Amino acid sequence: MLIEQVERLIERFYAKVQLDPETIEALSAMIHARFDEMMAEGAAELADLASRRTQLEGEQQKLLQAHYAGAIPLHLLKKEQDRITASLETIEHRIGAHHGHYAAARENLDDPLKLLSNAADIYEHADDANRRLINQALFKTIYIDEDNDVRVGYRNPYDGLSLSGLHADALSWAAEAKKMGQARTATKGGPLVASSHLTRLGCLDSTFGNSAPKTKTLVTRMNRGVYEVSRRPPLSAPRDDRGPVVRTVETAQTFLTAAEVDALIGDYLGGMGVKQLAERYGIHRATVFSHLRRRNVPSRRPGLGLDEKAEAVRLARAGVSMRAIGRRMGVDRKAVRAALVEAGLIVDDASDGA
């Protein structure tokens, strides 16, 4: 099966991955309500810790008063104060961890839900690198059988959040909360959360206790509007005066033999331009640069030629860094920067300061 077919099948599957706003809102409200219940269940322990803290602080004061009255020597006072201080530090840590752990977990819940509410839109508009990123964030494995059916193995917590049974429970819970006059956000005093499917998420404070880096990156880029405009190549390869700008998706990639690569390098060293090489060998201009780089062929000039400048601009607009462009073309970062300044993509700091 061609990779283009695989991509189309996975793109269609993402329509099943993405959740509608009503389900997302219900899930968020129900899980936050469960967090409220968990914090309430720990209220008794917190009360005991606070009581013990007050008791220890009272002991500290009594020891000081006894020492001032001459009843306790200094070495004994220091020993007891060290013991009490260590106990107080442990209590403060446990109280702070209780509130902080739940607060962090609740904050980390929002990112997976936001990703699920926009998954199909992100995948549709993302370039290849971002498609790989969202696949890695959501799935451990992706299977496509002979009938073109897609099956996936979700990563945690998406394996639980994607359960249709959990979605149904959340919608029912939200409807019950609405009947009871509760706002459709996390509030105390609403209906009890009694979803058996929540067990698939494990212990909520552990499941959402740590932020997933790939999910965080995707949501951050989404908030910046990276996926609002499609970054996918068009179905047909547009052309300009330099030749094809991108390869047609349906066109099979052209692989050169070792002899053809030798001939390409010879033509380049003989003075042929990148555009002419791409047309002669039926490959993309970027592929020409890749062959030259792999054979450690130096650039014919310290800077970039017209074709090379155009390629550098195209890569920069696609989000490739100047350092990576320089490595790909065999020039330093300054040459790439000069080409981008000339094209107006970036501002020359020196001239701007003048």
pLDDT tens-digit map of 118-138? 999 999 988 888 999 999 999
Shortest CA distance to 137 belongs to which of 226, 215, 219, 208?
A: 215
Torsion sign (Cα): 243, 249, 253, 254: negative
Angle at 118 between CA 116 and CA 120, to 5 degrees: 95
Shortest CA distance to 296 belongs to which of 255, 333, 268?
A: 268
Tokens of 203: 């212990």
Residue 250's pLDDT is: 42
Question: Please, which residues have CB within 8 angstroms of residue 27's CB and are 6 or more apart in sequence?
Answer: 19, 113, 161, 166, 167, 170
Can you give the pTM of this predicted structure? Answer: 0.50
For 284-321, what is each residue's pLDDT tens digit?
777 888 888 888 887 665 567 777 788 888 888 888 88
Q: Which residues of 331-342 are buried (b: 16+ CB within 10 A; e: fewer)?
A: beeebbbbbbee
Tokens 């107006």 correspond to 344
Tally of CB atoms within 10 A around 173:
23
Question: How are beta strands 239-240 and 243-244 bridged, if at all?
Answer: antiparallel
For 253-268, what is each residue's pLDDT tens digit?
556 788 888 998 888 8
What stretches of the chain adopt beta strand conformation (E)? 139-144, 150-154, 239-240, 243-244
Question: What's the CA gap between 253 and 87, in Å, rounded?
Answer: 68
Q: Is the peptide bond before 157 cis (omega within 30 degrees of 0)?
A: yes
For 139-175, what is each residue's pLDDT tens digit?
999 998 877 889 999 998 888 888 888 898 889 888 8
For 74-115, what is each residue's pLDDT tens digit?
888 888 888 888 888 887 777 666 665 667 777 788 899 999
Residue 238's pLDDT is: 52
Tokens 């990639």 correspond to 253
Contact in structure between 118 and 16 (CB atoms under 8 Å)? no
Distance, C-alpha 222 to centroid of its chain: 9
- The amino acid occupying position 190 is G
Segment of 15-24, 172-181, 327-336 carrying the highest mean pLDDT: 15-24
Question: What's the CA gap between 80 and 75, in Å, rounded?
Answer: 9
Tokens of 62: 């009594």
Shortest CA distance to 276 belongs to which of 288, 260, 258?
A: 288
